[in-house]
A and B are shown apart, each in its own frame.
Chain A
Amino acid sequence: MIRDAKKEWLIAFVLLTPFLAVYGLIFVYPTIDMFLLSFTDAPLIGDGDYVGLENYTRLAHDRRFDTAIWNTAYFVALSVVPGTAVALAIALGVSRLSGRMQALILALFFLPYILPVSVVYRLWDWTMNFQFGIAMHVFDMLGIKRVPVFKTTTWFMPAVAFITIWWTCGFNILLFLAGLRAIPQEVYEAAALDNAGRWTTFRKVTWPLLWPITALNLTIQLILQMKIFDQVYLFSIGGRPNDNLVMVYYIFQRAFQSNHGGRAAAIAVVLFVIVVVVSVLNFQLTRFSGSGRR
């Protein structure tokens, strides 16, 4: 059969068009627009005048921007690696179970993941309520002084990170379980024949063979947590919002509260660049370390 290259190209183009159109309309165009917007003094809705780099230069001595950067970094540090480690530990435990028991335990760990963030917020807000929360009564019983968890800067980020891990680790556990099941049983049998202990088996077999999944988990978490907003926003209501700022929260404040579309876009561009750089670095690092191990 003679291939008609021109026709094939045409078919490919026709098939791709719907995707390209939608992708262009709802991703590429807004992204370009965001860059353009960041050089203007536009309000949230409507056009503004060109102001050059002013929106960027003023970030250098913007206190709230500083807070947002540091808090985001702090939150990433508190949630990405710990979250992945917790998920791995739980997955290793769950994989030792079998049958219905495994399904049940897995379901229990997965349950929080299906909750919407608003419900998660309500649950924990009530639990930690300084005057009436259940946790505070436990504190009283143990003789510990009550802690206004979401109202002090010391406890806010660790608490939100903890809740985020509790809430989202179900998904990571599933990824790890899939990874664990993909490791051939023969490898473990061979290790057992060589008299390898549990720790050695984990270190020499499970860990390296699971590394691609671990790397994937870390990357997903990293990107996700840099864009943290919902939990921080909800738990800050009425509290100390400007002390708890994270990047997306600050974008929200600028755009929707202060009506500064241009300045919000500039912060969004900075976050965009950070996410791109960090993701690429993370990808390269995990790939490098992965290939080094094998």
Chain B
Amino acid sequence: MLKLSALKTTALAAAMLMSSAAYAEETVVWWDFLGGGDGVRMKQMISDFNEAHKGEITIDATTLEWGVPFYTKVQTAVPVGEAPDIMTYHASRIPLAVDQNLLSEITAEDWSKMGLSESDYAPSTWDAVTVDGKQYAVPLDTHPIVLYYNKELLEKAGRLNDDGTPMGMDSREGFTETLNALKESAEVKFPLASVTADGNFMFRTVYSLMGQQDGELMTDGEFLAGDNAQKLQNALAVLAEWTNEGLQSTYTDYPATVALFTSGEAAMMINGVWEVPTMTDLHKDGKLFEWGAVELPVIFDHPSTYADSHAFAIPAGDMTQEKRDAVLEVMSWISKNSLFWATAGHIPAYGPVTESAEYKTMEPNATYSPLTQNMIFDPKSTLAGIAGPIFDVMSTYFVPTLNGEMDPAEAVKEIKVELNDL
């Protein structure tokens, strides 16, 4: 009798323990690298999530330094079991991460638990998180570069269309004419602000221009094979010409580029969509001119824009099923509520959001979002991606070339040697 009751008590205690485990609040440790205007919006989404999941799931978020610091930390933290439960990741970095066994595969079961599927995403975005037929991350957005422009200055130079877009967006001659008109109007220091001091950044523009000629950086593991070297040279030559003609700012780093544009010293700027919140906020406070953002001009054969994708990844390692379910819920909820993320400028990856009527009225997002059909991503290589070796090689030769110190042909020759030497 005594024994039986003891057994009962134990069973009861065990049952209670189990049920309490099932209902215990899960804390999801979150790492991201979103430090700018988009970071503020992500913090808002996290607190909305926590509010909606009170008593069930809490996100414990930390924002780390973007780029090299983030990725070096991740690749050392994961193998020693100190990784977070969820982290933001650039799609371009996924091939290297998979090679280093840093990421846990998002299985078919996971996708169905999240209520998300391949058909919710653009093919290029889905492909960007796929390695050897397996998915390793849940895409949150795509963030291409766009052309920002100052409507007032363009109008003064007589290069603004009636619908408020810049003239000459369909050809090299047309766009150069717009730049020249701006230069002659003498209202600005530079017609175009470009991040010419940062070759990493310029990679996005140069790669877009290569894409406009159907150029490939990597063909079957070989860099700049065939006439791709010539296409890179063409792309660099255009940009170098703008510099030599005084149409583009020289040796300008990232913050200076934004400052040149927002202060009206430059009439146009090529930058990422993540600067949209900066413009929106400044404009709201009455501190900014009338502005707009459009897809990059077609300098060569057809439209093409470089994009990367912010995605959510689960670090490799042991995780309880409860924890994993909580993480999946986080990814699912944020994806489905990513309309707010669009206010950060990014184009939400989750299709139903971008197809919604609300999204279609958002400006300037609606103006540039058709470019998703012309997006190109980094080559799928362990050498590619933010803060990767390809970026460093490019940067080293882009900076002198785009500032008129080096001949494009020479730069391409050197780049090819160094890339194939990696």
Contact = CB atoms under 8 A, between A and B. Distances in A.
A130 B396 contact: no
Interface stretch (B6-14, B111-119, B149-157, B383-391): B383-391
Given A44-B75, A151-B399, A258-B389, A238 B201 contact: yes
Given A129-B253, A130-B251, A130-B256, A239 B199 contact: yes
A148 B198 CA distance: 12
Contact of B392 (A43, A63, A151, A241): A241
A132 interface: yes
B252 interface: yes
Contacts of B197: 130, 148, 151, 238-239
Given A46-B79, A131-B251, A240-B199, A258 B403 contact: no
Contacts of A257: 68, 387-389, 392
Interface string A233-247: 000011111110000
Contacts of A71: none
Contacts of A256: 68, 72, 75
Contacts of B251: 130-131, 148, 151
A286 interface: no
B403 A45 contact: no
A104 to B, nearest CB: 36
Instruction: With a 10 A CB-CB cut-off, give which of A46, A131, A148 has the most chain B CB atoms.
Output: A131
Given A239-B197, A239-B399, A240-B399, A259 B99 contact: yes
Contacts of B256: 129-132
Interface in B371-394: 382-383, 387-389, 392-393
B72 A148 contact: no
Contacts of B75: 44-45, 256, 259
A245 to B, nearest CB: 9
A188 B417 CA distance: 63
B395 A241 contact: yes
A257 B75 CA distance: 10
Chain A: interface size category: 20 to 34
B169 interface: no
A132 B392 CA distance: 25
A152 interface: yes
Contact of A258 (B68, B201, B383, B418): B383
Contacts of B301: none
Interface string A34-52: 0000000001111000000
Interface of B: 68, 72, 75-76, 79, 96, 99-100, 195, 197-201, 249-254, 256, 259-260, 382-383, 387-389, 392-393, 395-397, 399-400, 403, 405, 417-418, 421-422
Interface of A: 43-46, 62-64, 129-132, 148, 151-152, 237-243, 253, 256-259
28 contacts: A44-B76, A45-B100, A46-B79, A63-B417, A129-B256, A130-B250, A130-B253, A131-B251, A131-B253, A131-B259, A132-B259, A148-B197, A151-B197, A151-B251, A152-B400, A237-B198, A238-B201, A238-B253, A239-B399, A240-B397, A240-B400, A241-B392, A242-B418, A243-B396, A257-B387, A257-B392, A259-B96, A259-B99
